Amino acid sequence: MAPAENPARERILEKIRTALREPAPRHPSLEGRRIFAPVEGPLDRFQKECAANITECTVTPDLQESAHFIAGALAQLPPGEIFIQDSPMLRRLAPAWQNGREIRWSSEGAPHEASQATITQAEALVALTGSVLVSSSCGGRGATVVAPVHIVVATLDQLVPDLEAVFARLREREIHMRNSYVCLITGSSRTADIEKILVMGAHGPVRLLVVLSRDSN
Amino acid sequence: MSASAHEFLRSAAEKSADLTHRQIIRKGIDQYNTSAERGRSRFADWEAARQRCHEIKWEAENNLDRYLLEFEQKVKDRGGHVFWAENSEQARQYIADLATQRGVTKIVKSKSMVTEEIHLTPALEKLGIKVVETDLGEYIVQLREETPYHIVTPAMHLTRTQIRELFKDKLGDVDTDDPPQLVAAARRSLRREFFSAEMGISGANFLVADAGMIALTTNEGNARLCTSLPSIHVVLAGIEKIIPRLSDLATLWPVLATTGTGQPITCYSTLAGGPRWKGEVDGPEEFHVILLDNGRTEILADKNEREILHCLRCGACINACPVFRTVGGHTYGTTYMGPIGSVLTPHLRGLNEFQHLSYASSLCGACADVCPVKIDLPRHLLHNRRDAAHQGSRPFVERIGFHIWRWGMQSPARFRFFGWMARTGARLAHSLGLTGTFLDPARAWTKNHAPPPVPEKTFRELWGKQNGAR
Amino acid sequence: MVPEVGLDLVRVLRRIGYDLDFPAEQTCCGQPAFNTGYWDDTRPVAERFVHIFRSAELVVCPSGSCTSMVREFYPELLADTPLADDAAELGHRVFEFSEFLLKVAKVTDVGASFPHRVVVHDSCHGLRELHLKQEPRELLRHVKGLELVEMPYSEDCCGFGGTFSVKFGAISAAMGDAKAGYAESSGAEYITATDPSCLMHIDGILRRRNSKVRTIHLTGILAQSAGSGGRDSASRLAESRR
């Protein structure tokens, strides 16, 4: 906003500059102490964390097997449209999913309200927390939150040990520079707002499936 | 005593006697404590995590202008707008003007305490705009026409039976007290709203300076829908929410989740940076961030109070507070309750009106123990009390009383005399049968306690006898 | 109001070989005025305290809250006075009673005997500012015949908080009532703590409830020795007042 439209801006900045003439006291540093224990065996850890946060994680030998597994999962869902991120990899695997299903590709637009499931790739997976990093490149913002079932097609080379590593990856690949939206997803949506009782499936997906292929090809 | 203080005392007395209410809160807090303890044990070094979070926030607040300017530039580079609001009115006006100009008829909101702080919803509703709270707890209290009971779990004071009655009354198509079915009913009812609202309003857990993005820590998915579906996304955040770097979230996200809900990390740790870009499938056309001062620069200006701005709004201090556990969140009558509320409110809304909140504490220190950014909350309560006394706004009797106390404590003879007066007075009241009655000078104590037995001899007298007078 | 606490402290320290003095000029550490915000009124009282104890090698105090006033808050209170350094230094020489026994005297067995079931209330200042959790329990574990039990929420504040108990009486009483209930549920005969003010508050509430549980300060337990009929003169003094 132009200065004339927002005169408060200069006044606030001036107040801040005046306020900060003296630094506040701070606690002495605790040098060299590790906040998290290093992750041993990332794949095992990822699977363990997924079980804890109720992500359905399946490990397959290759992408063809992943496609086959997903076809099986889709067959169990009620009839209705499936929304898929339009990427070369998912275009290649899609024939396995066309079995009498309407498919809407992300290139056609945002997912419809009544989609039964969305299928997307991920930017990375995090072993420490059993999380999936997605961005608006993964079929858009709605693709990873709108439908009751979200299926992630991932490969083992996308797995990083912890949060420091995922932010390093984000920085290296400039994921946040190429997207308006990034989200670290850990499990399916939930709430404990009623008597602190955990209920799965609030406004986001009720089920999150991560299908992880050992082979990236 | 201010009007707020009167109301606080009235409500506190009522809630302190309400054993049912205390039991509900106790149960909720116990569940939180179990989860939070488990959560802390997932860290190799929890104290190192707290220290790191303290350092991140220290760096942010002590370089606030620099990081706010960096954030502003990066948001603009991303195609977003940044508006700086000195007070509630300016913030409300900006949002109201924007909504009016764009012909907005419905707004979906995710949970944001700062929108409560500026009383945004009533201002928008006055313009005929429908404002829908989409966080389940906020949705519930909105239907009940109440304010949030707690900054993280707004409906923790309600039983499932009460929620059943509420939904039966307001939503019509549901009659159950089974939590999954209640949640499903809320999901059905709110889904239509997400898809038809023209504007989504969120707060921000963090404003990330080096990325020009806002960070949201949530579980339900409602904030994601509010920030993905409507064509305008408005963010309201206090200026203190800034953090220097994206990678700071590697520590802040798990710590906030741990102290907020006991989770390793919440379901959706989202970074929203700008409107949709060319080539993106969906997302809002417009992105507006409103940076709110509203008294924060005053706190910033006192270097001994500045750390109050480090607060992550996690709610851990509220959960640890025995006063909160006894009187509940509504008694405070303010947006922010519990220890942080008692420290912050006098600064944001005036010491005169709200000093009683800083006095309504036994200074037990449980809050400081659990604060993830190591804010010394009891010390700030003491500072507020000191400032209230300095300001001269304390009751006259109390001021005179402590002047007399000072005079008395500066001489052992006077000290012994005061002690003798207290003991003699107590004995006299007792022998006249006045103890506990309206005429009992110690009635404030004897109202709730059996009177203490009065010793015949003092320690000094007995020591002197044992060891010879010195 | 509770002279037996001071006498019992003296008894125990003498029993383990310490020579004590009680400077009769002392009055108060200043906490009541400080906590109510009257720092200007507190300052001269605190300065007086620093002077009086200037030449003492070690200072022992039967109250965690008074000890923490000196250690945690004197430096800030006296920051801009000539006594700033003395105040900070004094903090290293002042000890709460159980802290003194374990960290300075390094004894856990003071030859005490108290054949009763006892539960510990963790007084806030002792617990959170002086970090005393195990110390009182260590000492009690070495008391002959004593059965130590725990109660739920032993770390919850009892609700005294100085003038808080009077200004916000309803909240204070509710907190004390909850504490009394937990103490009763533990099956203990006695509840003990390191702060006499906690015990005075809890005591008033227990007796109002006609509870079977009685309060006794930590010094009171440790002062009891076998062969004096199980009752030493200080506690007999307390008993006779009821």
Percentage of chain B exceeding pLDDT 90: 84
Q: Among candidates B287, B283, B340, which has minimal Cα distance to B117?
A: B340
* Chain B positions in Cβ-Cβ contact with residue A18 (cut-off 8 Å): 301
In Å, how far are B161, B408, C200, C225 from B417, measured between CA atoms? Answer: 59, 9, 22, 34
Q: Which of C26, C173, C200 sits opposite B452 (nearest CB)?
A: C200
Burial of B433 (0-12, 13-18, 19+ CB in 10 A): exposed
Closest approach of B89 to chain A, Cα-based (Å)? 12
| Range B169-188 average pLDDT | 90
* Chain B positions in Cβ-Cβ contact with residue A113 (cut-off 8 Å): 191, 195
A vs B: CB pairs below 8 A: 279
Residue C221 CA neighbour count, 13 Å, CB half: 34
Q: Which residues pair with C191 in a beta bridge?
A: C119, C215
Cβ-proximal residues to A41 (8 Å cutoff; 6+ apart), any chain: none
Instruction: Give the dihedral sign, CA B71/B72/B74/B80.
Output: positive
In Å, how far are A208, B162, C167 from B7, measured between CA atoms? Answer: 48, 25, 14
- In the numeric block, which tokens belong to residue B283? 């997302």
Cβ-proximal residues to B55 (8 Å cutoff; 6+ apart), any chain: A26, A27, A29
User: How many domains is chain A partitioned into structurally?
Assistant: 1
Q: Are residues C204 and B445, on separate chains, in Cβ contact within 8 Å?
A: yes
Count of H-run helices and E-run strands, chain C: 14, 6
Helix (H, G, I), strand (E, B) or coil at B397: helix
B vs C: CB pairs below 8 A: 189
Percentage of chain A exceeding pLDDT 70: 98
Domain boundaries of chain B, sorted by first residue: 42-297, 306-391, 401-467
Closest approach of B339 to chain A, Cα-based (Å)? 21
In this predicted model, which residue has the larger pLDDT, C6 or B82? B82
For residue B271, the surrounding DSSP H or E stretch is strand B268-272
pLDDT of the residue at C146: 97
| Range C151-164 average pLDDT | 95
* Chain B positions in Cβ-Cβ contact with residue C165 (cut-off 8 Å): 362, 445
| Residue A194 forms part of a structural domain | yes
pLDDT of the residue at C2: 79
Residue of C nearest to B383 (CA): C37
Domains delineated in chain C: 3-103 (no CATH), 117-240 (3.40.50)
Residue with tokens 């506690």: C235
pLDDT tens-place string over residues A69-108: 999 999 999 999 999 999 999 999 999 998 888 999 999 9
To the nearest whole number, what is the mean pLDDT of chain A?
A: 95
Q: Which of C32, C168, C241 sits opposite B360 (nearest CB)?
A: C168
Q: Tell which B residues from 11 to 30 touch C, by Cβ distance under 8 Å.
A: 12-13, 16-17, 22
| Range C147-175 average pLDDT | 95
CA distance C201 to C204: 5
CA distance B76 to C179: 56
| Residue A202 forms part of a structural domain | yes
C237 pLDDT exceeds 70? no
Amino acid identity of residue C117, one-letter, is R
C240 pLDDT exceeds 60? no
pLDDT of the residue at C226: 63
CA distance C160 to C81: 31
Q: Give yes or no for a contact between B47 and B273, defined as CB atoms under 8 angstroms apart.
A: no
Helix (H, G, I), strand (E, B) or coil at B371: coil
Q: Are residues B410 and C125, on separate chains, in Cβ contact within 8 Å?
A: no
pLDDT of the residue at B419: 84
pLDDT of the residue at B192: 92
| Range B267-273 average pLDDT | 97
C89 pLDDT exceeds 60? yes
Closest approach of B434 to chain A, Cα-based (Å)? 47
Q: Are residues B276 and A180, on separate chains, in Cβ contact within 8 Å?
A: yes
**C to A contact (≥3 Cβ pairs closer than 8 Å):** no
CA distance C35 to B362: 10
Helix (H, G, I), strand (E, B) or coil at C115: coil
Spell out a b/e string for B206-225, using b for 16 or more CB atoms within 10 Å of the CB, else e.
Answer: bbbbbbbbbbbbbbbbbbbb
pLDDT tens-place string over residues B445-466: 888 888 877 887 888 888 877 7
Apex A198 CA angle, A196 and A204, nearest 5 = 120
pLDDT of the residue at B116: 94
Task: Give the CA diameter of chain B.
Answer: 94
* Chain A positions in Cβ-Cβ contact with residue B250 (cut-off 8 Å): 162-164, 166-167
pLDDT of the residue at A1: 53
Amino acid identity of residue A177, one-letter, is M
In Å, how far are A119, A122, B324, C40 from A211, measured between CA atoms? Answer: 10, 11, 45, 68
Closest approach of B404 to chain A, Cα-based (Å)? 35
pLDDT of the residue at B212: 98
- Fold observed for domain B42-297: Rossmann fold (3.40.50)
| Range C72-98 average pLDDT | 94
Instruction: Tell me which long-range contacts C184-187 makes (C-beta under 8 A, separation of at least 24).
Output: C184/C211, C184/C212, C184/C213, C185/C151, C185/C152, C186/C119, C186/C149, C186/C150, C186/C151, C187/C117, C187/C149
Q: Which of A1, A23, A142 sits opposite B282 (nearest CB)?
A: A142
- A166, A193, A198, best to mutate vs chain B, most B CBs in 10 Å: A193
Helices (H), chain C: 3-15, 31-35, 39-52, 64-68, 74-77, 84-90, 97-99, 124, 134-141, 164-167, 169-185, 196-208, 218-223, 233-240
Residue of A nearest to B138 (CA): A193
pLDDT tens-place string over residues A145-162: 999 999 999 999 999 999
Which of A182-191, B160-169, B411-420, C102-111 has the least mean pLDDT? Answer: B411-420
| Range B139-158 average pLDDT | 92
| Range B341-358 average pLDDT | 96
| Residue A69 forms part of a structural domain | yes
- In the numeric block, which tokens belong to residue B386? 């000191």
Residue of C nearest to B410 (CA): C45
Amino acid identity of residue A203, one-letter, is H
| Range B103-108 average pLDDT | 98
Q: C touches which chains (3+ CB pairs under 8 A)? A: B
| Residue A29 forms part of a structural domain | no
Q: Are residues B362 and C48, on separate chains, in Cβ contact within 8 Å?
A: no
Q: Give yes or no for a contact between B14 and B327, defined as CB atoms under 8 angstroms apart.
A: no
Q: B touches which chains (3+ CB pairs under 8 A)? A: A, C
Which of A209-213, B252-256, B333-337, B410-414 has the least mean pLDDT? Answer: B410-414
Which of A163-167, B257-261, C56-60 has the least mean pLDDT? Answer: C56-60
Q: Tell which B residues from 284 to 323 touch C, by Cβ distance under 8 Å.
A: 322-323
- In the numeric block, which tokens belong to residue C186? 């533990």
Burial of B128 (0-12, 13-18, 19+ CB in 10 A): exposed
| Residue A120 forms part of a structural domain | yes
| Range A200-212 average pLDDT | 95
Q: Give yes or no for a contact between B322 and C159, defined as CB atoms under 8 angstroms apart.
A: yes
pLDDT of the residue at B470: 43
pLDDT of the residue at A2: 54
Helix (H, G, I), strand (E, B) or coil at A211: strand
- The residue count of chain C comes to 242
Q: Are residues B470 and C201, on separate chains, in Cβ contact within 8 Å?
A: no
Confidence band (pLDDT; 50, 70, 90) for A4? low
B392 inside 8 A of chain C by CB:
no
Q: Give yes or no for a contact between A36 and B44, defined as CB atoms under 8 angstroms apart.
A: yes
* Chain C positions in Cβ-Cβ contact with residue B362 (cut-off 8 Å): 124, 157, 159-162, 164-165, 172, 175
- C4, C26, C27, C40, best to mutate vs chain B, most B CBs in 10 Å: C27
Domain encompassing residue A61 = 40-213
| Residue A13 forms part of a structural domain | no
C229 pLDDT exceeds 60? no
B130 inside 8 A of chain C by CB:
no
| Residue A45 forms part of a structural domain | yes
Q: Angle of helix B3-16 relative to helix C169-185, nearest 10 degrees?
A: 20
| Residue A112 forms part of a structural domain | yes
To the nearest whole number, what is the mean pLDDT of chain B?
A: 94
B433 inside 8 A of chain C by CB:
no
Q: Are residues B271 and A176, on separate chains, in Cβ contact within 8 Å?
A: yes
Enter the ipTM.
Answer: 0.96
Which of A84-98, C100-114, C214-228 has the least mean pLDDT? Answer: C214-228
C234 pLDDT exceeds 60? no
Q: Are residues A204 and B268, on separate chains, in Cβ contact within 8 Å?
A: yes
Percentage of chain C exceeding pLDDT 70: 93
Closest approach of B180 to chain A, Cα-based (Å)? 6
CATH number at residue A193: 3.40.50.10420
Instruction: Give the dihedral sign, CA B22/B24/B27/B32.
Output: negative
One of 3.30.420.40, 1.10.1060.10, 1.20.210.10, 1.20.810.10 is the CATH number of B306-391, namely: 1.10.1060.10
Q: Angle of helix B338-349 relative to helix B377-391, nearest 10 degrees?
A: 30
pLDDT of the residue at B468: 62
Q: Give yes or no for a contact between C173 and C167, defined as CB atoms under 8 angstroms apart.
A: no
Q: Are residues A194 and B163, on separate chains, in Cβ contact within 8 Å?
A: yes
Q: Are residues C33 and B406, on separate chains, in Cβ contact within 8 Å?
A: yes
Closest approach of B406 to chain C, Cα-based (Å)? 6
- C2, C7, C41, best to mutate vs chain B, most B CBs in 10 Å: C41
Q: Which residues pair with A183 in a beta bridge?
A: A134, B270
Q: Are strands C190-192 and C117-120 parallel, antiparallel or unpaired?
A: parallel
Q: Are residues B65 and A17, on separate chains, in Cβ contact within 8 Å?
A: yes
Percentage of chain C exceeding pLDDT 90: 71
B158 pLDDT exceeds 60? yes
Give residue B80's Cα distance to chain centre: 29
| Range C188-198 average pLDDT | 95
